[in-house]
C-alpha cells in the first residue's frame, strides 16, 4: 500500500489535521504545525499535542507517513545576517514542534541566495541545516527540490548533492521530490517519470527519498515556475502519476498532494491508491 494524502489544514488545532485527512480516505498527510506566513506563533498547547498523538494513533497513522512542512518565511540560503538568524530561529522552533508531536521529519525549501554566488547560498543552507540538527535531537530534514526561479537553489540534482555534501549530519537529511518543481526545472516527468526517478536513485540511493509531493503543473517543462494543478488536468498528465505510484521505492514514504482543488482530493487519493494496489 502507498501512503498518500493531501496537505490538510491545521486551523483551530493541529489535532484536527488527522481527522481531516481520514475524512478524505488519506493513508498519509502533510500539515503546517504553525501559521506558515508568520514569524511568531503561540506555542503548541499541551492538550493539542496529546490530542494530536491520540488521533494519529486511533486513526492508524504512522508518524513516518506524516510530513510536516516548514513555513515559507524561512530562507536557509540568505546572505543577510538578520534574515538568516530569524530563519534559523523559526526553523529551530518548527523542528522542535515536530519532535513534540512525536513526528520524524520536517520538509523545507533550501532557500534563495539573493546575491553573490549560488555556491555561497548552498554553503549557507548546509550550515543552517546542521545547526538545527545539532539543536533538535531525533529530527530529520527533507530538503525539497525547487523549480529554479530567480536565485532559488535546489532545482538541479547537482545542487541538492552539493547541499548534502556540505552537511555533517548526512544520515539525518534527505529529500522531498515535488513533481511540478521537477517539471519546471527541466526534468521530464511527463515523458519519462521512471528515468527521472532512476536518475535520482543512482545519485543518492533510495534511502534519501524521504517523501514526494505529487502535483501536476500549470506551466510547461523548463519554465522555472512553480504552479500546481490537479492530477491529470495539467501539462504533466495523469499517466506519469500512475507510473510513479506503482514504483516499489515509493511505498514506504509519504506521498503528498498539494493540488489546488480540494474538492478533487478524495478522487485523486482513491485513483492513485487503486492504481498502486493493482
Confidence tier at 278 by pLDDT (50, 70, 90): confident
Distance CA 247, CA 105 (A): 22
pTM higher than the cut 0.75 = yes
The beta strand positions in the chain, using DSSP E, are 3-6, 29-31, 66-68, 105-108, 140-144, 173-178, 209-214, 216-217, 228-229, 254-257
Domain extents in the chain: 70-277
Look at the chain and count its residues.
278
DSSP 196: H
Q: What is the pLDDT of residues 218-275, one digit of tens each?
A: 999 999 999 999 999 999 999 999 999 999 999 999 999 999 999 999 999 999 999 9
Task: Report, as residue numbers or ranges, the catalytic residues.
Answer: 37, 69, 72, 109, 144, 178, 181, 213, 226, 228, 258
32-62 tens-digit pLDDT: 999 998 898 899 999 999 999 999 999 999 9
What is the fold, at CATH topology level, of the domain defined by 70-277?
Answer: TIM Barrel (3.20.20)
Amino acid at each position: 500500500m502507498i501512503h498518500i494524502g493531501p496537505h490538510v489544514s491545521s486551523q483551530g488545532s493541529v489535532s484536527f489535521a488527522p481527522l481531516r485527512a481520514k475524512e478524505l480516505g488519506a493513508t498519509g498527510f502533510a500539515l503546517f504545525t504553525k501559521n506558515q506566513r508568520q514569524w511568531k506563533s503561540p506555542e503548541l498547547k499541551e492538550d493539542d499535542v496529546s490530542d494530536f498523538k491520540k488521533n494519529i494513533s486511533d486513526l492508524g497513522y504512522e508518524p513516518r507517513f506524516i510530513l510536516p512542512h516548514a513555513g515559507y518565511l524561512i530562507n536557509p540560503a540568505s546572505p543577510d545576517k538578520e534574515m538568516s538568524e530569524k530563519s534559523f530561529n523559526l526553523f529551530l522552533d518548527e523542528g522542535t514542534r515536530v519532535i513534540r508531536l512525536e513526528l520524524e521529519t520536517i520538509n523545507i525549501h533550501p532557500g534563495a541566495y539573493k546575491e553573490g554566488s549560488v555556491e555561497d547560498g548552498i554553503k549557507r543552507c548546509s550550515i543552517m541545516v546542521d545547526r538545527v540538527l545539532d539543536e533538535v535531537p531525533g529530527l530529520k530534514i527533507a530538503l525539497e527540490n525547487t523549480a529554479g526561479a530567480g536565485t532559488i537553489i535546489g532545482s538541479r540534482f547537482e545542487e541538492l548533492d552539493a547541499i548534502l555534501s556540505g552537511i555533517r549530519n548526512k544520515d539525518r537529511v534527505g529529500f522531498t521530490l515535488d513533481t511540478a518543481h521537477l517539471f519546471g526545472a527541466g526534468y521530464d516527468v511527463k515523458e519519462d517519470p521512471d528515468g527521472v526517478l532512476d536518475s535520482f536513485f543512482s545519485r543518492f540511493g533510495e534511502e534519501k527519498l524521504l517523501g514526494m509531493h505529487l502535483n501536476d503543473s500549470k506551466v510547461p517543462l523548463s519554465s522555472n515556475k512553480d504552479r500546481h494543478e490537479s492530477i491529470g488536468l495539467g501539462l504533466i498528465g495523469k499517466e506519469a502519476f500512475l507510473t510513479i505510484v506503482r514504483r516499489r521505492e515509493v511505498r514506504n514514504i509519504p506521498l503528498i498532494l498539494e493540488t489546488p482543488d480540494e474538492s478533487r482530493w478524495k478522487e485523486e487519493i482513491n485513483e492513485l491508491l487503486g492504481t498502486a494496489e493493482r
